[in-house]
Amino acid sequence: MITACASQPRARPGFVPDEQGGACPLGIRETLVTAVDAPGGVDVTFTSDSSSRVDEIRVRARDAAMAHGPGSHTGLGHDGEHLQGHGHGLKLSEAPRANVSVEDIDSGTRLRLVAVDPAARDALRARIHQRVEELRATPCD
């Protein structure tokens, strides 16, 4: 499962700034989220141009990747809270079931989501791509 945020952003592909300073995936400022189809599912990458944000991105991405189950809202959340309407997470409990692996990359983390049921692969991809677009537009509040 996954989540990310931004302040005084520089122009970057996939980054949609808002009047408060930017998108907010995983509840972390200055974070870019992307999704790319991968074998059996989709890769979601969280990165930052700010080296001071990389460790937190990795911690939160790993937390998001843990299978918490539908409706449990456990994990780090936004300032340690869930259900506050911040909407910075991947909401994996709303997607088809997937096995998730985590890989650290130079400027962040990559999550690979592979559909448990191969017949659900396209639905998983569609849901994650939709959610990533929503995250790109979610302000950091």
- What string of pLDDT tens digits covers the 141 residues of the chain? 333 333 333 333 444 443 444 567 888 888 889 999 999 999 999 999 888 889 999 998 888 887 544 444 444 544 444 444 445 677 888 889 999 999 999 999 999 999 999 999 999 999 999 999 988 887 776
Q: Given this model, what pLDDT does residue 23 score?
A: 66
28 backbone dihedrals φ, ψ, rounded to 5°: -120, 125
Looking at the DSSP assignment, which residues form a beta bridge with residue 81?
Answer: 78
Inside any domain, residue 27: no
Query: How many structural domains comprise the chain?
Result: 1
Inside any domain, residue 63: yes
Inside any domain, residue 101: yes
Cβ atoms of 83 and 73 within 8 Å: the answer is yes
Structural domain span for residue 68: 32-137
As a whole number of angstroms, the longest Cα–Cα distance in the chain is: 42
Inside any domain, residue 9: no
How far does CA 49 lie from the centroid of its chain?
Answer: 16
What global pTM score does this model have? 0.73
Amino acid at position 22, single letter: G
CA–CA dist 72, 115 (Å, integer):
21
Q: Which residue has the tokens 């939709």?
A: 130
